[in-house]
Amino acid sequence: MQDVTDLPFIRVAAHYGAPDYFFTEFFRVHAQSRPEKHILRSIVENKTGRPVFAQLIGEEIPHMVRTVKELLKYPIAGIDLNMGCPAPKIYKKNVGGGLLRDPAKIDELIGALRDAVPGLFTVKMRIGFDSTENYERVLGLINKHGVDLLSVHGRTVKEGYRSDVHYDHIAIAARTVRCPVLANGNVTSAAKAAAVLEETGAAGVMIGRHAIRNPWIFRQCRERLVERVAPNALSSSNNALEAKRSTPIFQPTLADAREYITRLYRETQTPDIPEKAHVAKMKKYLNFVGQSVDAEGKFLHDMRRAMTEAELFAVCDAHLLTEPAKLFATEPYPGIIARPNCETPVESCSLDTITA
């Protein structure tokens, strides 16, 4: 996620239980582009023990292939193509989600990338641009070019980030393509992950915003879906998996959330970033965290008014350490959205504009 899955965030996420794989923020590819140094750091300095895929956004084949060759010199798990970003300034250039309007271009681009990537080549896509009319054709291209893994965000580009997720369309992908499919969109908890896997038949889930809110979510998924089931249950249905779960799933408290915020603050701090700017960046993460703190949105209300580090942590103490043993909600509280006035159009794929 742009602005999110940088090296500091990856480190923090790994501390609480890393996902099986990470995907970088997207490398922008055009005639003058060079792989962005800060994104390269999340590859080169990744000590989490989990592989990281390098994601590219672009459409000009010579530059995409050149960038692939540059990135292959780094310790990446594979190359991932972004066909989902819904920001108008991105899709108007026919990149990201804009590609979904043009299956012929996708055919050409995926073919060229497949030829350029000797190892794992993966694709992240939405189910269409403003309709799903090209969806099955694009899935056919995933098969034609032997893509190794497909992540499907179950919304069209025009649906942005807040509509219902069309899990039935993710199920179509899981049935159609020969590679594993990761189901993406509103996987809010381990229980939701189990339900989405059941509904879609996907091989796994991809989690975005709810990992910012709840960095324990990957651990919780693993506990629910993999580790705490009898080994012979793995060949049975998801219902059997749930029935054989033996020990409870980790439940963070408000005190744990307070500790997460401190860790995130320290990890994201750099000498060149002024306090006010750092507090502003923290608020973007806390917009998500606040969805699990209280049902009335009081933490969010107070947090948004903090201007200094001291004010921010005073708000955190007041809301998180008064009842430290209270559970940090597993699901976001209903109606508590990450930002007010979030019907504003998504102008970029960044924490500034994307809500949950």
Ligand X SMILES: Cc1cc2nc3c(=O)[nH]c(=O)nc-3n(C[C@H](O)[C@H](O)[C@H](O)COP(=O)(O)O)c2cc1C
Phi and psi torsions of 199, nearest 5° = -70, -35
Phi/psi at 25 (5° precision): -60, 160
The first and second tokens of residue 309, run together, are 């580090």
- Least distance to ligand X, CB of residue 211, Å: 7
- Distance between CA 279 and CA 262 in Å, rounded? 12
The terminus-to-terminus CA distance of the chain in angstroms comes to 14
Q: Closest CB to ligand X among 196 and 241?
A: 196
Residue 125 identity: M
Specify the residue, 42 or 82, whose C-beta has the smaller distance to ligand X: 82
Which residues here bind ligand X, judged by CB under 6 A? 1-4, 25-26, 55, 82, 84, 124, 153, 161, 184-187, 207-210, 349-351, 354
Strands of 120-126's sheet, edge to edge?
Answer: 22-28, 52-57, 78-83, 120-126, 149-153, 181-184, 204-206
Interior/surface letters 73-89, b for 16+ CB within 10 angstroms, e for the rest: eeebbbbbbbbbbbbee
Q: Is 85 a catalytic residue?
A: yes
Q: Which of 85, 221, 316, 349 is catalytic?
A: 85
Give the shortest CB-231-to-ligand X separation in angstroms: 29
Residue 212 tokens read as: 């910012």
Residue 88 CB, shortest distance to ligand X, in Å, is: 15
- Which is closer to ligand X, CB of 184 or CB of 292? 184
Q: Which two tokens stand for residue 191?
A: 């229980």
User: Minimum distance from CB of 318 to ligand X (Å)?
Assistant: 27
Q: How far apart (Å, rounded) are the C-alpha atoms in residues 111 and 113?
A: 6
Least CB distance to ligand X at residue 75 (A): 20
Contact yes or no for 90/98 (Cβ under 8 A): yes
Name the residue with the smallest CB distance to ligand X: 208
User: Per this entry, what is the length of the chain?
Assistant: 356
> Which positions are catalytic?
85
